[in-house]
Amino acid sequence: MNYYIILMLIEFEQSIINKDFVHIKNDTNLLSFHKKSDTLSQINLNFNNGIYKFSFPINDIHYSTTFTDKKNLMKYMNFIIHSHKF
């Protein structure tokens, strides 16, 4: 992972924490957080076979999407965290 992506992930984690999410210990995911008030409301990022899977809550639905390109993934993750109310 290059320096740009690492910085983006750190900024993303800070944004998630600021939205009242807490870290979940999960060795299979790159990122894993749940809402303090609702453990089923989770934001996760994992990497498997060259594909990144990003999942997040929208109302009562847990939505996920996949990416192969890290920069497009990071743009989308930042769009979601800054445009959705969790």
Instruction: Please state, as a whole number, how many other Cβ atoms lie within 10 Å of the Cβ of residue 74.
Output: 20
pLDDT digits (tens, 9 = 90+) for 55-80: 999 888 899 999 999 889 999 999 99
CB 12 within 8 A of CB 81: yes
- Would the pTM of this model clear 0.85, i.e. be above it? yes
Tens-place pLDDT, residues 23-54: 999 889 999 999 999 999 999 999 999 999 99
Strand order in the sheet with 61-67: 21-23, 31-35, 38-48, 51-58, 61-67
